[in-house]
Amino acid sequence: MRIRIATRGSRLSLIQTEIIMNMIRRVEPNVQFDVIIVKTTGDIVQDKPLYAIGVKGIFEKEVNLALLKNEADIAVHSLKDLPSEISPGLVVAGFSPRDPPFDVLVVRDDYPGDLTALPNGARVGTSSVRRRAFLLSVRRDISISVIRGNVDTRINKLIRGDYDAIVIAEAGLVRLMSDLKSLHIKYTRIPLDLLPPAPGQGIIAAVVREKDTDLIDLLNRASDPRARAEALAERAFLRTIGGGCHVPVGGIAIYGEDHMEFIAGMADLDGGRKVLVKLSGSQSNPEELGINAARELLKRWNEDKTHSNT
């Protein structure tokens, strides 16, 4: 069996592709892969924040186009980069075990390493409006600046002093750790109730054509059941909330021993107002939990807005 697998060309993307390939090899040892590199608009345009480029699913559509043009059989993505609705004819069918879902504050090893310990006016780099909004809700006195580029590019900008700190996904650091271990940096997790992560953060997703039922079955067998349940809850949350990467909202499902918990939050762009909700639900119906979390968050947000205006 031979599978063509499409991915972006960054070091992190290639590592994530290798993780998906190894998942498949565990259930189908004789499979062979051809890796197809796709250059996306998000990779090419590095001088603008993501929300300013004006393309929804900026890291997703061009990779998935390889499937629609029958140039590839599987497309690999960070699940957090996938919008709630992907191209017609495609389906998210594979889910890797989840790496840590936290956002982390990364600093040089001679600089204060905790969000609360940052000096007034510290320059913090992020390209995410979600991170910006929630960071400002905790520290109104820091200076948020746009930073673009791959994880290693952002860390190099930090090391040369362009920023005092950067905020990125811990999962990316974990996957690149062997490349980064010689650098003089340290990082601290930001608690989920201070900075709810992007839905899907820490999970690698495999997208296929919905007509390729054999591949869907293969990915079902290869996927991590816990990550699948969390992903289904979080994508149902995202669809219900109606958000994309430019909306300051975060949400995460946590698979427990006998239930699932959902933490979700929404904040104003300037961090002046923030609402957080926590719900529990059944493991057997993760999508219902995600929908309920979105509805409760929107309800609380609207109630809080009404009270703020009176």
Residue 209 tokens, joined: 């054509």
131 carries an active-site annotation: yes
130 carries an active-site annotation: yes
Rounded to 5 degrees, what angle do the CA atoms 39, 172, 219 make?
70
CA 167 – CA 154 distance, rounded (Å): 10
56 carries an active-site annotation: no
148 carries an active-site annotation: yes
Strands 2-7 and 74-78: parallel
Q: Which amino acid is at 248?
A: P
Among residues 61, 148, 186, 226, the one annotated as catalytic is 148
CA 46 – CA 190 distance, rounded (Å): 26
Sign of the torsion formed by the C-alpha atoms of 278, 279, 280 and 283: negative
Among residues 81, 99, 103, 164, the one annotated as catalytic is 81
Beta bridge pairs of residue 90: 209
154 carries an active-site annotation: yes
Among residues 154, 175, 209, 228, the one annotated as catalytic is 154
What residues have CB less than 8 Å from 257, skipping those under 6 apart?
none
Sign of the torsion formed by the C-alpha atoms of 198, 253, 26 and 30: negative
Among residues 8, 98, 108, 130, the one annotated as catalytic is 130
Among residues 8, 131, 235, 274, the one annotated as catalytic is 131
Strands (E), the chain: 2-7, 32-37, 74-78, 90-95, 103-108, 123-125, 143-145, 165-169, 185-189, 204-209, 249-255, 260-267, 274-281
What is the maximum span of the chain, computed from C-alpha positions, in angstroms?
66
Which of 222, 230, 220, 190 lies closest to 98 in space, CA to CA? 230
Catalytic residue positions, numbered = 80-81, 130-131, 148, 154, 245
